[in-house]
């Protein structure tokens, strides 16, 4: 990529859950646009280190790993402060880390509530709180990775769907709270990457059949939407962009 395309040169992005899957693809796209990237992970330290090494081989001192358990809310200020200290600032916060598993009403538990709400809702809220001052100084951006099932609940995923619905509402609220200095938007993916367990080929095809485009997407589709908010949408805030192949139009 030529220098003219490095729209995020001189900026730092913190991506939670950035070691694997969709989060890692977001990291790659923001890095390709010139940003220095802080790759957050909890347990996937080896994956995070490998990704950082690959990116640093492409551009020296352009990526580093920061480890934290996002359920430990009282440590999130330390996480943000560490990123700012190492990178010299913070321009973009991408809340990509997520926990996803079924919680049917009959068996849903308080521990599942704490886990799913903690990762999908509390962490984005309190990371935004911790980063607000730095993001305001930078006139920066928050992008939350929501889900189309925050708009229409996924059967048997009651707590997860509720958490993502609340994240969508949080996105709009933060856009108001942090204006005019900070833009806050969300990407709501549809079928872009299958869960690591739990869906057979027939179930996958049924989901694809409910998209207007009749195909699944990819993590890159989500990453391009995040990059759009970071590089090409200076007058956009408080918006939820569905990246779902039209699935939300055919429930």
Provide the annotated active-site residues: 160
Cα–Cα distance, 124 to 93 (Å, whole number): 9
Distance of CA 55 to the CA centre of its chain: 19
Cβ proximity of 80 and 90 under 8 Å? yes
Token pair of 230 as six digits: 């970071």
Question: Tokens 């900026």 identify what position?
Answer: 11
Q: Which residues of 112-130 are buried (b: 16+ CB within 10 A; e: fewer)?
A: beebbbbbbbbbbbbbbeb
Cα–Cα distance, 247 to 92 (Å, whole number): 29
Token pair of 171 as six digits: 């996105």
CA geometry: angle at 21 spanning 20 and 23, to 5°?
75
Q: Minimal CA–CA distance to 15: which of 30, 5, 2, 34?
A: 30
Residues sharing a CB contact under 8 Å with residue 117, sequence separation 6 or more, in sequence order: 159, 162, 163, 166
Name the DSSP letter for residue 157.
Answer: B
Token pair of 110 as six digits: 């308080």
């Amino acid at each position: 990529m030529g220098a003219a395309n490095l729209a995020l040169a001189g900026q730092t992005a913190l991506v939670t859950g950035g070691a694997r899957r969709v989060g890692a693809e977001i990291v790659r796209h923001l890095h390709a646009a010139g940003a220095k990237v802080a790759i957050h992970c909890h347990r996937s330290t080896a994956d995070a280190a490998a990704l950082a090494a690959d990116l640093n081989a492409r551009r020296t001192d352009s990526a580093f790993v920061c480890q934290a358990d996002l359920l430990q809310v009282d440590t999130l200020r330390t996480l943000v402060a560490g990123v700012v200290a190492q990178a010299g600032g913070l321009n973009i916060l991408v809340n990509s880390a997520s926990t996803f598993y079924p919680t049917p009403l009959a068996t849903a538990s308080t521990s599942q509530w704490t886990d799913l709400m903690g990762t999908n809702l509390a962490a984005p809220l309190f990371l935004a709180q911790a980063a607000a001052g730095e993001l305001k100084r930078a006139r920066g951006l928050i992008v939350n990775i929501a889900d189309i099932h925050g708009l229409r609940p996924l059967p048997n995923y009651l707590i997860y769907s509720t958490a993502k619905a609340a994240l969508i509402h949080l996105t709009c609220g933060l856009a108001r709270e942090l204006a005019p200095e900070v833009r806050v938007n969300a990407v709501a993916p549809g079928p872009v990457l299958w869960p690591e367990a739990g869906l057979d080929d027939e179930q996958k095809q049924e989901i694809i059949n409910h998209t207007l485009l009749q195909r699944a997407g990819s993590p890159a589709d989500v990453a391009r939407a995040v990059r759009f908010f970071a590089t090409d949408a200076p007058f956009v805030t408080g918006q939820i962009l569905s990246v779902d192949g039209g699935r939300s139009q055919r429930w």
